[in-house]
Amino acid sequence: MVALRRSVLFPDVPAVVEFARDARSRQILQLFVAPQSMDRPILAPSGVPPARVAELRTAFHAAVNDPAFVAEAKRQHLEVEEVTGEHVAEIVAGAYALPADIVKAAGETMSMAGTRGE
């Protein structure tokens, strides 16, 4: 698992950001890992009224923590770890706040990830 934070399931396994040598590398990793950190988010467009966003977050939290849902996930041997809407919003805001040179470097890194150094 590639993540910016250590997993509660594997607390002794370092997060990828722990290998960064400097702040610039940490920022590149932050952008590179952002999609995985959000897992499979449910997103809404900008301009949704805050009250509706709160209702959606409350409903999602209730669904993920529903005893029948949790039991079915366990029956299927699935691990469910909720990523809150607030955390997803932090990830997105952090990604958009990164300087242009970091975005460019992360893009270059991602495009090189599938090459074999010919």
pLDDT in tens, 73-101: 999 999 888 989 999 999 899 999 999 99
Q: Are 63 and 29 contained in the same domain?
A: no
Q: What is the pLDDT of residue 48?
A: 96
**Alpha-carbon distances of 93 from 14, 47, 80, rounded to whole Å:** 24, 15, 24
Domain with 58, as residue range(s), is: 43-82
Q: Give the pair of three-digit tokens for residue 14.
A: 């370092």
Q: What is the pLDDT of residue 1?
A: 61
Q: Are 52 and 76 contained in the same domain?
A: yes
pLDDT in tens, 41-69: 888 998 999 999 999 999 999 999 999 99
pTM surpassing 0.85? no
Q: Are 88 and 78 contained in the same domain?
A: no
Q: Give the pair of three-digit tokens for residue 90.
A: 């932090």
Tally of domains within the chain:
2
